[in-house]
Chains A and B, each alone.
Chain A
Amino acid sequence: MMRSGVLRLILVRLAVAVPLLLVISFGVFSLVHMAPGDPVRALLGTRPSDPETLAALRERYHLDDPLVVQYGKWLGQVLQGDLGRSINGNRLVLSSIKERAGVTIYLLLVSTAIVLAAGIALGMLAAFRRGGRLDRFVVMFGVFGISSPAFVTGIFLLYVFGVVLGWFPTFGAGRGFLDRFWHLTLPSLALALSIMAIVVKITRASMIEVMDRDYVAFARARGVSTTRITLSYILRNALIPVVTAGGIIVIGFLANAIYVEVTFALPGLGSLIVDSVQRRDIPLIQGTTLVLACFVVLVNLLVDVIYTLIDPRIRFSRVES
């Protein structure tokens, strides 16, 4: 009963996600093609502009077709796993993305771990010590965290730990596991700090709300053990809003990952998209945007499934209806 409900949810969400991805990719596609300036010029890049090259470009990117047809042809290629070639360097877009993805994935994983562990723990502690010194500190931390995007946090971390103390390198992703760890510590921290504030804030607020609920008071009145009240009563209920905010958090991670990669000069997907936008590298913009959008949509789907699993009210009402 439960499994079929979750399965149905996934199918429904996929049914929404696919058109969403189409709209995003079509939007970016038409934007790039309708933007001021001749697309052929942009596609030409630094190559000499002799008539043959121009004609070849027009031919290769189907520029003489109507926009929708161009998009259809591009989409057809994408579905076959071909994202085209970049203008600068004439490399396969897909291999550029593969090459750059490692750093971004590493960054996201490490900072997600930090955010989930430290963010939830801090939010809980603050809620338990409500009004106390730790709570005040955490609330202030939340305001600062929400007010400082990763590039600002990153610059301060770079200055203090990279320049003044000299403990960490100031640019590059490093080679090999240990070197990479060493290089990516500050960026992961900058990324984690900027997102952690939201998680801490939501966790704290929802913990405080749940602790005031009747069912917690009733559990205490029955002498249910503190551990059980904390875990099964307070934490489980308090985490629902945190999971609900998952979508916002995922998008936040992505935005700040872009900033962090640029701040620390890391070769990741974020800096790739910024590079391609700055150089107006059309195939690269389209490919990278599509991959990142897919990532966001998939993670959101995952968040939705988790939400359904932990909140039976959703699960049951969906199954029953």
Chain B
Amino acid sequence: MSLHIESAKPEAGTPRARISLGIALAFIVIAIVVFCALFGASIAPDSPFTQRLEVGDAPPSGQFLAGTDLLGRDVFSRVIYGAWTALVGPLVVAVGAWVIATVLGLLSGYLGGMVDSATMRWVDFMLALPAPLIAIVVVGVVGGGYWTAVLVLIILFTAPDTRIVRSAVLEQRPRPYIDAARALGISKTRILFVHILPNVLPIVLAYVVLDFAFALVNLAGLSFLGLGVEPGTPDWGRMLFENRTILFTNPVALLLPAFMIILTAVSMNLIGDWLFERLTR
């Protein structure tokens, strides 16, 4: 599922005009999603769990802004509550994968030798795996839902991320300022953390944000296949899975969570591209 990671590398010559306006909107979207995740309980008009079998899958109305699902639950409230799983899991995946990848990448890139070849062999192996398939099978068979999915994604994301950190380190390593530090007798640890790390961190930071977007999409995908969160959890991906059958009766029950997935992922991707541009040149 680490599918887009490297291909999503922000590109040169992205039109400027888009950035300022788009970035402002992206930050606003993320702020709203974060607000919903933290204070969903106080702003949601209704409990996301209250079932009204007599109402069923009703289209939007004054009482239910986005209508109700098959069990008569308020779709709008469920979407607000869904912000929580849309934020926490991706955040843990992105930060977790990058913490591991940064340590591994720094060590293998700077130390070289056995450490490097062992790490790279592992990375090559992981990259040759049909990752999405593995994720589906592992999460499906092992069970454990959301957090198993988070763990599997961390493992799958770590490999390509390690490669990115390593190549960033390799880019810095032959530079004269590193040679100068070595010639001065500055210790390896200090070179690694005081000299190389600050030059690699901006890249990592931008990629954390980009990874967040991929993790969101992938976690939603697993939930959509019925493999992620527990049944009944208000989660955008899970809502797509549960409401597939009511496309004709209350399409909003599908379109709204689908729209939220895209909106959040697009915002994170825009912010990631923008950070990359700002921090690395």
List residues of A (255-314) whose CB comes within 8 Å of B's CBs: 255, 258-259, 262-263, 273-274, 277-278, 280, 285, 289, 292-293, 296-297, 300
Check if B251 is an interface residue, CB within 8 A of chain A: yes
Q: For A258, list chain B residues within 8 Å (CB).
A: 132-133, 136, 225
> In the complex, what's the smallest C-beta–C-beta distance from A149 to chain B, in angstroms?
5
Q: How large is the interface on A (under 10, 10 to 19, 20 to 34, 35 or more residues)?
A: 35 or more
Question: In the complex, which residues of chain B have a beta carbon less than 8 angstroms from the beta carbon of A148?
Answer: 217, 261-262, 265-266
User: Cβ of A300 and Cβ of B3 under 8 Å apart?
Assistant: no
Across-interface contacts of B9 in A (CB, < 8 A): 205
Interface check A155, CB cutoff 8 A: yes
Instruction: Say if the beta carbon of A245 comes within 8 Å of chain B.
Output: yes
- With A28-B137, A252-B3 known as contacts, the answer to whether A208 contacts B11 (CB < 8 A) is yes
Docked complex Cα distance between A28 and B137 (Å): 8
B127:A247 contact, CB within 8 angstroms: yes
Give A296's nearest chain B residue, CB to CB.
B130
B107 near A: Cβ within 8 Å? no
Is B7 interfacial (CB-CB < 8 Å)?
yes
Indicate whether B4 reaches chain A with its CB closer than 8 angstroms. Answer: yes
B5-35 residues at the A interface, CB under 8 angstroms: 6-9, 11-15, 17-18
What 1/0 flags go to A243-259 for Cβ under 8 Å of B? 00101110110110011
> Which residues on A sit within 8 Å (CB–CB) of B227?
277-278
* A159→B12 contact, CB < 8 A: no
Q: Is the interface of A mostly helix, strand, loop or mixed?
A: helix
Residue numbers in A under 8 Å from B186 (CB-CB): none
In the complex, per-residue mask of A14-40: 1 if CB is within 8 Å of any chain B CB, else 0: 001000100110011001100110000
Q: CB of B131 within 8 A of chain A?
A: yes
- Quick one: which of B134, B137, B254 has the most chain A CB within 10 A? B137
Most buried by A among B15, B127, B142: B15
With A156-B255, A289-B133 known as contacts, the answer to whether A143 contacts B12 (CB < 8 A) is no
Could you tell me if B258 and A292 are in contact, using CB atoms closer than 8 angstroms? no
A31–B138 touching, CB < 8 Å: yes
CA distance A297 to B130 in the complex (A): 8
Distance in Å: Cβ of B161 to nearest Cβ of chain A: 14
Q: Smallest CB-CB separation from B254: which chain A residue?
A: A155
| CB-based contact A254/B225 at 8 Å | no
Q: Is B213 interfacial (CB 8 A cutoff)? A: yes
Task: Say if the beta carbon of A163 comes within 8 Å of chain B.
Answer: yes
B254 close to A130 (CB less than 8 A): no
> Which residues of B234-281 are within 8 A (CB) of A?
240, 244, 247-248, 251, 254-255, 258, 261-262, 265-266, 268-270, 273
Q: Are A170 and B247 in contact (CB under 8 A)?
A: yes
* B-chain residues with CB within 8 Å of residue A120 when the two chains form the complex: none
CA distance A198 to B147 in the complex (A): 28
Confirm or deny: B60 has a beta carbon within 8 angstroms of a beta carbon on chain A.
Answer: no
In the complex, what's the smallest C-beta–C-beta distance from A116 to chain B, in angstroms?
15
Chain B: CB-nearest residue to A150: B221
Instruction: Please determine whether B129 and A24 come into contact, CB atoms closer than 8 angstroms.
Output: yes
Distance of B228 from chain A, by nearest CB (Å)? 12
Contact of B13 among A20, A23, A27, A208 (CB under 8 A): A208
Q: Hey, which chain A residues are within 8 Å of B261, CB to CB?
A: 148-149, 152
Q: Chain A 117-152, CB within 8 Å of chain B: the 1/0 string? A: 000000000000011000110011001101111011
B229 proximal to A (CB < 8 A):
no
Contact call B8/A35, Cβ cutoff below 8 A: no
Known: A156-B255, A201-B8, A252-B3. Is A147-B141 also a contact (CB below 8 A)? no
Q: Is there a chain B Cβ closer than 8 Å to A173's Cβ?
A: no
**Contact call A146/B8, Cβ cutoff below 8 A:** yes
Query: For the complex, what is the distance from the CA of A234 to the CA of B226, rounded to whole Å?
Result: 45
| Cβ contact within 8 Å between A300 and B128 | yes
CB distance from A187 to the nearest CB of B (A): 14
Contacts of A162 in B (CB 8 A): 247
B residues in contact with A59, CB < 8 Å: none
Residues of chain B in range 198-250 having any CB-CB distance to chain A below 8 Å: 213, 217-218, 220-221, 224-227, 240, 244, 247-248
Given contacts A147-B217, A254-B130, A255-B3, contact A277 B143 (CB under 8 A): no
Q: In chain A, what residue has the closest Cβ to B214?
A: A146
Q: Which residues of A contact B (CB under 8 A)?
A: 16, 20, 23-24, 27-28, 31-32, 35-36, 130-131, 135-136, 139-140, 143-144, 146-149, 151-152, 155-156, 158-159, 162-163, 170, 198, 201-202, 204-205, 208-209, 245, 247-249, 251-252, 254-255, 258-259, 262-263, 273-274, 277-278, 280, 285, 289, 292-293, 296-297, 300
Q: Which residues of B contact A (CB under 8 A)?
A: 1, 3-4, 6-9, 11-15, 17-18, 125, 127-134, 136-138, 140-143, 213, 217-218, 220-221, 224-227, 240, 244, 247-248, 251, 254-255, 258, 261-262, 265-266, 268-270, 273
Which 5 A-B pairs give the minimum distances between C-beta atoms? Answer: A255-B132, A277-B140, A147-B265, A205-B11, A296-B130
A-B contact pairs, 18 of them (CB 8 A): A20-B129, A36-B143, A131-B13, A139-B14, A146-B8, A151-B221, A151-B224, A155-B258, A156-B258, A198-B8, A251-B131, A255-B1, A255-B3, A255-B132, A278-B140, A280-B141, A285-B140, A289-B133
